Chains A and B, each alone.
Chain A
Amino acid sequence: MEIEETALPGIGLRHDFQTRSGRRLGVVSHHHGRRDLVIYDSDDPDSSQDSIPLTAEESDAFSELLGAPHIVEKLADISSAFAGLVGEQIAILADSPFAGRPLGDTQARTRTGASIVAVVRNQIVHASPPAGLPVRGRGHRGGRRDPGEHGVRRRVAPLRLTSGLAGSSAFHRDDLP
């Protein structure tokens, strides 16, 4: 399945894909959180037969019905798919020192060697998050170790967190086995 992403300047983003049954489905994500669920016309592929506006709350609920909980499981699957890669989810609690600050402030890669592959916020996965993305409390972040350089994969221990991210050093690195 191939999901196409198109920028809609001034509006937001559009994602669309072809279902196995031959229909085209899309989602327009507005900057302000509104989502339009778009069902394309089977006769005119350029045009939408129906476009259903969803509030942020409705789209959350809807995506949950469609299986957003699986996204979390899938991230965990990455580690079993590639030996040597360890994926871990890290909850950012509201009282975390990083809550409300840009992702870059965590200096996660410098300090731990782990890459942050996604930020999961309100069930929505922000893949490849930019350093400027603010981390909000109560969200989740998927952390993943890169394979070693030159394709040599090292076995590394998962990231662990000190109690509740409350302390000043949020990341704790286990010794390599």
Chain B
Amino acid sequence: MHSTATTFLELGGVLFSLGILGHLALRVGISPIPLYLVGGLAFGHDGLLPLGASEEFIGVGAEIGVVLLLLTLGLEYTAGELLSGLRKQARSGVLDLVLNATPGVAAAFILGWGPTAAVVLGGVTAISSFGIIAKVLGDLGRLGNRETPVVLSVLVLEDLAMAVYLPILTALLAHHSLARGSLTVAIALGVLVAVLYVALRHSDKVTRLVFNPSADRDDEVLLLRALGLALLVAGLDRRLQVSSAVGAFLVGIALSGPVAEGAQEVLRPLRDLFAAVFFVFFGMQTAPADIPPALLAGSLLALAGVVTKVMTGWWAARSAGIGTMGRFRAGAALVARGEFSIVIAGLAVAAGIEPKLGPLAACYVLLMAIIGPLAARFVEPVTRAARGRLSRP
């Protein structure tokens, strides 16, 4: 039996070293996600500094991290934004998903992993990271650019697609019978439509559940109610064997207006903490020795992932009437993958479908979370140089 002291020492050590890694990432100007994953590799069973006492706590923390990631993602968008994105950019959205899921699906079949793994890997390669991309665009001062709304609406559609994809994936991973599986998926989709409807029409009522603007003006109340509501819905979903992450996402969408902004603000530190714990936990489940064999496939997937995202962005920006440079900027901006690829891979690892899938996904995200911001940063000089060379006789 481990004492509380050991748990504190381990947890403190983990969080403190994550803080150091995050600091390093900031200094170098990359996303901290890959470093957290590497940290997780070190803390796993086969790592340099295996944890004992705190592993259970970290496991639960990781689950909370997923709920918070999806809740804050839902808070980012209003239902109106999701639907108008769907109307305006549906074609780019479909192109995005088809182009970018293809490498993952193909890789799974080439490696002989079967259809469920293909669905997982397709999701891992398809979904860009809103967190990394929004940060990079802000840091590079590109939020005002003409192509930025195009980039953002592609991301909006990916997230809407996630709301459909996650319940399907959960059903597949749970090895449900076809009837049972289609029932859970049907329930999830019905709930999605209902939530979007409620969010569009009666958002103020749902919002009032969480916050009563005239009675309580306290951040604490908002934090507790928003988090409580998300966990309740996530738990309920889990009972119904629908993905708990989707429920949290839908709660995020249903909340709107100033309350959503306030909730986002108060939840952010908590989300950052538990998301970091989640990335570490994912790393912990991967044995460091499995990473080198996955590097080749991971690099090839990463290369394909860069190409397909640049194509997506280029096409979407072109149909919005953006010039050549802007098209490449849009493409490069979309390259980064991160938290949601790990969320998807994490579900598959937890279900234990294919032992090599975790290391491959970890490898892929490691590369893409580093390449993405770099691609966005260097796309302009690279494009300019390439065009200069082309125009010279």
Contacts and interface: CB of A to CB of B under 8 A. Distances in A.
Count class of interface residues, chain A: 20 to 34
B144 A9 contact: no
Interface residues of B, number: 35
Main secondary structure on A side of the interface with B: strand
A11 interface: yes
A10 B155 contact: yes
Contacts of A38: 141, 143-144
Interface stretch (B18-26, B229-237, B320-328): B320-328
Main secondary structure on B side of the interface with A: helix
Contact of B156 (A10, A32, A46): A10
A136 to B, nearest CB: 10
A158 interface: no
Contacts of A36: 141, 143-144
Interface in B117-156: 130, 134, 141-149, 152-153, 155-156
Interface string B362-393: 00000000000000000000000000000000
Given A8-B143, A10-B134, A100-B214, A47 B152 contact: no
A69 B149 CA distance: 31
B352 interface: no
A11 B134 contact: yes
A14 B144 contact: yes
19 contacts: A7-B84, A9-B81, A9-B152, A9-B153, A10-B77, A10-B134, A10-B152, A11-B134, A11-B152, A31-B264, A32-B261, A36-B144, A44-B325, A47-B326, A47-B329, A48-B144, A51-B144, A102-B204, A132-B204
Sort A-B residue pairs by CB-CB distance and give the 10 closest, nearest first: A38-B144, A51-B141, A46-B326, A46-B146, A10-B76, A9-B81, A48-B144, A9-B156, A28-B143, A26-B144
Interface of B: 76-77, 81-82, 84-85, 130, 134, 141-149, 152-153, 155-156, 204, 213-214, 217, 257-258, 261, 264-265, 322-323, 325-326, 329
